[in-house]
């Protein structure tokens, strides 16, 4: 059995939100009514990844911000209950972030109010990493970089991690905010990171390549490793030595919300512990398959 002392701690920096998930009965009828199963669940890219990391057996610290309100208290309590060490500051007068998620089949559309996540700052990152001297890896949700208000915190996270000798990874977050920020600027912000994770749309924005393998290769000019996720088609990992391909197993999709976060958690659990890319991709695929089989973005059970 692996002891807690033998497990590497992973620090995760980024958003904590409440998801309002609407699983649509059919295509969205714009300007009219669409039947849906609506649920309020915990969300946020960084918080989801942290929860899945804990579920998979990693030690994890989440650095984030919530409002001093009932949703914020509930989100922190849920994460703590799932085994996440929360370095999450509460901000008076600012609401906890909320995301409306519209789900139809494999597609999802998100409407976002980032709320207190915009209050995350560099001091929060410094304090959290100082309090976690056993951390070996830092994972950053790019939403933190993509808003001007929280960008300093994201840049500080990568800089402090490098100074402390931690390996680093960045999840590219979302295609439209990447377009708005500009690919060239974003790639400069993450230059030198050990790993960049992106789905096919995000990779196309950043690399100017629609082909996943070509995009992954191009991104290794900026980060040491690049993983392009292709949903049910699997994923490809590129490093300067070559490509590793992963073919996902097909499972019924109930709700794709959080599947990419679960994939990242599985991959990081294995890779930070020393696994080769193929095994890390397999771990990512396993957790992604669990995630799409349940409603919501978090693990439905207590730990693996």
Q: Can you tell me the distance from the alpha carbon of 191 to that of 188, in angstroms, rounded to the nearest whole number?
A: 5
Q: Write the CB contacts of 241 (distance below 8 Å, at least 6 apart in sequence).
A: none
Q: How many Å apart are CA 100 and CA 110, to the nearest integer?
A: 6
Query: 188: helix, coil or strand?
Result: helix
Measured CA to CA, the distance from residue 99 to residue 46 in angstroms comes to: 14
Q: Looking at the annotation, which residues are catalytic?
A: 261
The DSSP code for 94 is: S
With tokens 């994460």, the residue in question is 79
Cα gap 125→166, rounded to integer Å: 14
- DSSP one-letter code for 250: P
Beta strands (DSSP E) in the chain are 9-13, 17-24, 36-43, 59-67, 85-91, 97-104, 107-113, 135-141, 167-171, 195-199, 225-229, 235-239, 242-246
Residue pair 76/94 in contact by the 8 Å Cβ criterion: no
> Is the Cβ–Cβ distance between 143 and 114 less than 8 Å?
yes
Q: Rounded distance, CA 280 to CA 88, Å?
A: 28
Which pair of structure tokens corresponds to residue 69?
A: 């309100």
For residue 172, give the nearest of 202, 130, 210 by alpha carbon.
202
Distance CA 223, CA 206 (A): 12
CA pair distance 123, 194, nearest whole angstrom: 23
**Would you say 291 and 232 are in contact if contact means Cβ atoms under 8 Å apart?**
no
The helix (run of H) or strand (run of E) holding residue 137 is: strand 135-141
């Amino acid at each position: 059995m692996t002891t807690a002392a033998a497990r590497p701690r992973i620090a995760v920096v980024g958003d904590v939100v409440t998801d309002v998930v609407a699983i649509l009965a059919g295509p969205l009828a714009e300007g009219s009514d669409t039947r849906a199963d609506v649920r309020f669940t915990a969300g946020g890219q960084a918080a989801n990844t942290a929860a899945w990391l804990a579920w998979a057996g990693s030690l994890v610290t989440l650095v984030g911000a919530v409002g001093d309100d009932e949703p914020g208290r509930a989100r922190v309590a849920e994460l703590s209950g799932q085994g996440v060490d929360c370095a999450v500051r509460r901000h008076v007068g600012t609401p906890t972030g909320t995301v409306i998620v519209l789900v139809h089949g494999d597609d999802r559309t998100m409407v976002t109010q980032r709320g207190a996540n915009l209050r995350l700052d560099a001091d929060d990152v410094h304090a959290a990493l100082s309090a976690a001297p056993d951390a070996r890896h830092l994972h950053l949700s790019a939403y933190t970089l993509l808003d001007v208000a929280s960008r300093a915190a994201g840049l500080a996270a990568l800089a402090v991690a490098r100074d402390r000798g931690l390996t680093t990874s960045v999840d590219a977050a979302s295609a439209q905010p990447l377009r708005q920020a500009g690919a060239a600027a974003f790639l400069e912000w993450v230059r030198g990171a050990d790993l960049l994770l992106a789905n096919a749309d995000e990779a196309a924005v950043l690399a100017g390549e629609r082909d996943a393998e070509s995009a992954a290769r191009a991104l290794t000019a900026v980060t040491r490793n690049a993983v392009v996720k292709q949903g049910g088609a699997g994923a490809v990992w590129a490093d300067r030595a070559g490509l590793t391909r992963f073919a996902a197993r097909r499972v019924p999709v109930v709700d794709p919300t959080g599947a990419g976060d679960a994939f990242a958690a599985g991959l990081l659990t294995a890779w930070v512990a020393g696994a080769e890319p193929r095994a890390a991709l397999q771990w990512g695929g396993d957790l992604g398959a669990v995630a799409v089989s349940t409603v919501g973005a978090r693990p439905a059970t207590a730990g693996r």
